[in-house]
Structure 1
Amino acid sequence: MNKALLTDFTVDKSNNTIHVKREFDAPRDIVWKAWTTAEILDQWWAPKPYKCNTKTMDFRDGGFWLYNMEGPEGDVHWCRADYSNITPEEVFEVDDAFCDSEGVINEGHPGSHWENTFSDHEEDRTLVAITISYKSLEDLEKIVEMGFKEGFSAGLDNLDHYISTQFKLQKENKTSSRPGVATYLNFPGNTEEVFLFYKKVFGGEFTGRGLQRFEDFSFPGQPPLDDSNRKLIIHVELTIMGGHRLMATDAPESMGFKVTPGNNMHIQLEPDSKAEADRLFNELSAGGEVEMGMKDMFWGAYYGAFQDKYGINWMINYQPV
């Protein structure tokens, strides 16, 4: 957690409530998205070593989120969050309860009502103020005894890492709203060697932050990097002939990847809107093989990848300025 950011956790037994205030180092739209998008919630909501898995989510007044917390020993705990009173990027309320895998609420466990309020707080920072109400003091004390403060604080630490990494990459890697095209390359661990060679051949310069390494970023829910991976390249850009950009990352087998000729090169399209990103993805991927559907990613982009019906690999990367 960034110690410079405001954080406060208060238990008010006289009113059967818990009050949490937490500041995040990113604009309100990014923080709001992290609280209201299933793919992002799955990356931070559960305290490690637990994992959060969304079964279904419908973020609207009257909609609900059905998810589970999966423990390291295979234990699974299901929860349901029913949404109400949503004002985009300002506030939403939730009735939270334990349930089964079909969303049937377990009345034997304490439920709660959450009011989550989002507000601007200093430059490019957001304050989230949370009031959690319980039906009785007994319910409140039971939740506290179950370790709610420690678990929720750990989840918020995960979110702090996620947001700071995403916003940092977004600011560093996107400086223009103009659409563009680049070639994206994957290597099994020698990206730095390859791009130093290309730099010498083309006489170009690395753009953005140069050689960005995995050790420079934190990834919620992922195990610590071993020494062999910490110095590998997570992102690099080199402008070559005619203003064309080459980009690359290391994708070693030790991280679960397998780079082979044919899957190590993509054409990356950078549209100027989310709607255009969806259009390009849907039309180009028709009849092909989807590697990853369009979704929000940790570097601040709306991203998807696929191989078209002719065997050509594409990536769609919409990243707002």
Structure 2
Amino acid sequence: MAEKQAAEPTELVIVRELRAPRELVFEAFTNPEHLAQWWGPEGFEIVVVRKDIRPGGIFHYKQRSPEGDEMWCKLAYDEIEPPERIVFTNGFSDEEGRTARAPFHASWPLEIRNAITFAERDGLTTLTMRGAPVNPTEEELKTFREGLEMVREGFSATFQRLDDYLAKA
């Protein structure tokens, strides 16, 4: 009998427990004023250009590093089911919000579709995020797989910022 090898991962999965009720966590994701306070890498300033957080809407922003480097990004919302689920596609963009290549890798997938669910138990919220490239080429899929740990670390730091933000809310 032939031995089967495990398929390479094509999806990012992150599970995080947050010390806040589900409604508050959901609001932190869907209220643009809250989202701008914790979203993104530690130390980066977020400048929001468009904040239309609803199905069919866009959250378009610029991230500025402490060194002054800038990256334009956007989240395009597909589904918002309060307070249980959010589905959005994220990617890099130009200043006008048009999809653009990632500044750090020429073959990074243009778009990543993310589904986030929120479950509450005893006043704590378990956030589960699943993300995968949208219609990637083979090269983009390979780059995504190679970058999974970098993305996992980035979201872990972002969700730590969220947990810290919620503690003050």
TM exceeds 0.5? yes
**Identity among equivalent pairs (%):** 31
Q: How many residues are treated as equivalent by the alignment?
A: 153
Aligned equivalent of 1:20: 14
Residues 68 and 77 in structure 1, CA contact (< 8 A), matched pair in contact too:
yes
User: 1:30 deviation in Å?
Assistant: 0.4
User: 1:137 deviation in Å?
Assistant: 2.9
The aligned runs of 1:133-282 (5 Å cut-off) are: 133-134=132-133, 135=136, 137-144=141-148, 147-166=150-169
TM-score by length of 2: 0.82
Residues 117 and 130 in structure 1, CA contact (< 8 A), matched pair in contact too:
yes
Aligned equivalent of 2:120: 120
Aligned equivalent of 1:51: 45
Q: What letter matches 1:143 in structure 2?
A: G
Residues 70 and 77 in structure 1, CA contact (< 8 A), matched pair in contact too:
yes
Aligned equivalent of 2:3: none
Distance 1:62 1:143 in 2: 28
Matched residue of 1:67: which SS?
strand
User: 1:142 deviation in Å?
Assistant: 4.9
Distance 2:74 2:118 in 1: 22
TM-score by length of 1: 0.45
Residues 13 and 137 in structure 1, CA contact (< 8 A), matched pair in contact too:
no
* Structure 1: gaps spanning 5 or more residues: 1-11, 167-321
Q: What letter matches 1:32 in structure 2?
A: F
User: 1:41 deviation in Å?
Assistant: 1.4
Aligned equivalent of 1:236: none
RMSD of aligned residue pairs (Cα, Å):
1.9
Matched residue of 2:100: which SS?
coil
1:264-299, Cα deviation, whole Å (9 max, x unpaired):
xxxxxxxxxxxxxxxxxxxxxxxxxxxxxxxxxxxx
Distance 1:89 1:96 in 2: 20
Q: What letter matches 2:14 in structure 1?
A: V
